[in-house]
Chain A
Amino acid sequence: MARKQELIQGNHAIALGAFYAGARFYAGYPITPSSEIAEVCARELPGLGGAFMQMEDEIASMGAIIGASLAGVKSFTATSGPGFSLMQENLGVAIMGEVPVVVVTVQRSGPSTGLATKPAQADLMQLRWGRHGDQSLVALIPATVAECFELTVKAFNLSEKYRAPVIVAPDEIVGHMRENYAPPEPGQLEIVDRAQPHGLIEDYRPFNFEDGAVAPLASFGSPYISHITSSMHGEDGYSDNSPDNAGRRISQLHRKLEKNIDDIVMTRSFDLDGCDTLIVAVGSAVRAARAAAKEARQRGRQVGVLQVVTMWPFPEREVRRAASRAETVIVPEMNYSGQLAGEVGRAAPGARLIRAPSFDGRGLTPADITAVL
C-alpha cells in the first residue's frame, strides 16, 4: 500500500530523516533559515528517547555532538552561514578524530549575517575548504523535500561508514519549501551503524591508517578504551609526531573517501541522452534548470540537466562525461563568484562554459536560465 502523502517542509524532512537514520541527539543554536530543524528536534527527540540541547553558540554545538557521537549516539546539528563559520574549528576536530557527525547548514545570503531570510548557494567552497589543514569531508545538497529526507539518511550512513563528518547543505528555498511527500516505512531505506570493535580489549586500536581503512569505533563507556585527539596521533590515539606516522595519517583521512568514491558520489541525470546543451546545477537551481530545459525541449532544443547531489567530493568523472557530449555547458548558481562553475571547468577543461549567476537574494528562476540558453 502506498504511504500517505503529507505536506512537509524541507527542514522538517531533514529532522525526520535524521530520526529515521537513528539520530537521537541534537545540539544547536537556532538560526534562520534552519531553526525549524531545532524546533522539530526539541519537540520530538525526547519522545524518541533522545535528547535536545540548546547551546550557547555554534562552537559549543559542534563540541556537544562530537562528544555525544563518541558516546555512541548518532548526533547532529543544524545552522546557517554565520553559525557554520563558527563550527569550522570543531569540524576539523571531527575530521581528525574520525568522529561520525552530521551537520546541516541551510545556505542563506551573505557575506556575514547578510540577508538572513534569503537564499544563496555561496557557501559551496566553505563546505569543502572552510577549515584549516589538509582535510576532506562529504557534503550533500538536496533539491526537493524528498531529497531532504533521503539525503539526510544517506548522510548519517556515510558518516557512520567512513567515520567522517557529512554536511547536508540545502539552500533556503529548499529548506523552507513545502511539498507533498510520503516518508518511507521503517526498513525501507538502508540504515548503517558504525562498526564496533570485537576481540581482545588490549588489542583495540581506535584508528587504522592502512590505505582506505576505517577502524571500528568503540563508544566511550564501553570496555574498549579509546583516546580521541585533534592533534597528530598514532593508531592507538596517542601522540605520534613522526613523519612516517603523519604521512600515513593524512593520507588515510583522504584515501578512505577516495577509495569509496562510487559509494559517496551521487548525481541525477535528466534527459542527458542526445543533448547538445548541458545544464549543471545544485539545490533549488536544479528545479529552475529542469523547468527551463523542459520549455526549451518543447521548442525543439536538446537540453539536459545534471544534478550535482554530492557536492564534495565533487563528481568530476560524471561532470566530465556529461560535458564531453555537449556543445555548451550552462552553470546556473546563486553566487557571484562562480563556485560551482569553477569546479565544472576543472572537471571538464575543454567545455564551452556559460554562467548564469544570481546573487541578489531572489533565487534563480527558469527565465534566468532561458536567457542564456
Chain B
Amino acid sequence: MATPVVDQPAAVLPGSALARPRRPGTRLTARNALIGWTFILPNFVGFAVLTLVPVLTLFYLSFTSSNIFGTASWVGLDNYQRLLTDKGFHTALGNTFYYAAVHIPLTIVVSLGLALLLNQKIRGVAFFRTVAFFPYITSIVAIAVVWNMLFSPEYGPINQLLGLFTDGALPGWTVSKDWVMPAVIIVGTWRDMGFYMLLFLAGLQTVPAELHEAARIDGASTWQRFWNVTLPCLRPTMFLVTVMITIASFKVFDLILVMTDGGPGRASLVLSHYIYTKGFVQFEFGYASSVAVVLFGICILVTVVQFVYNKRKEA
C-alpha cells in the first residue's frame, strides 16, 4: 500500500517535486492525508450527520426538560438526580444486566460449539450452516410471535414436551415474572447464534492445521488441542465477537418489545425499552436522553475494558 503512494507524486507532479526538493515529506504527508480523508469522507459525512450530531444533541438534551416542543429549559443535573431514585430505571437497569450476563456467555458457547461442529467435513455441511444462520435473517416480529406461541403455558408445545418428563408445575414463560427473562434470553440466543457462528467459522479457517498436527503428534487430546491450539488462535475473532455481543445485549430492544412489551409488569423491562417509553410514549425527551446517556456510558465502559484486556493479552 505504501509503495505506490510514494511513487506516485514524482510521476504525476514532476515539476513541483523538483521545485522543492528539500521538504518532499511535508507535501507528501499532506497529500496522503487528503487522499485518506477523501476516502473516508462519504462514510464520515453520513456518520456525522446521522450519528455524531444526534449523539451530541442527546448529551445536551439530557440536561434539559425537553418535551420536544417549544424551548427546552436547562435543568442541570436534575434528570440524573431523578435516575438515582427512579425505581423504574433501576428495574430496567437490573434486567438489562441480567439479560447481558446470561445472554453473552450463552451465545458465545452455543455459537462456538455450532462453528466447531459445522467446521467438520460432514455430508451436507452447507445445508446445516444455512439452517443455523436462518434465524438471523428472519423477521424479528415473526420470531417473537411464533416463539410466544411455542411458550404458551397452556397450549404451547414446549410445555407439553416438558409435561412428559415432569409432573410438577411447568414454567409460565412469557406470562410469568420469574420465567420471562429466561424465555427472552433463549429466543435471543437462538436468533443470534447463526451470525456469530459465521464469524467463528471464518476464524477457525485461520487456525493453522500444522499446529493441530504437531499437537496431535505430541499426544494432546482433543480437549487439550481445543484449549491450547484452537482457542488461542481464535483470540482476535473471540474479541470481536465478545465486543459485538456485549453491545448488542445491552441495547436489546426489538425482540423484547414485540415478545413481551416489557411485561408482565416490569419483569422484562430493559433500558432501551424504558428510553422508548419515556421518550416516545410520555414525551419526556429530556429525561429519556439522560437514561440513554447512561446506556451509552455502560456500553463505552464495557468496550474499553475489553479493549484494554485484549491489548494486555496481546502484549
Q: Do A and B bind each other?
A: no
Give the B-binding residues of A (Cβ under 8 A): none
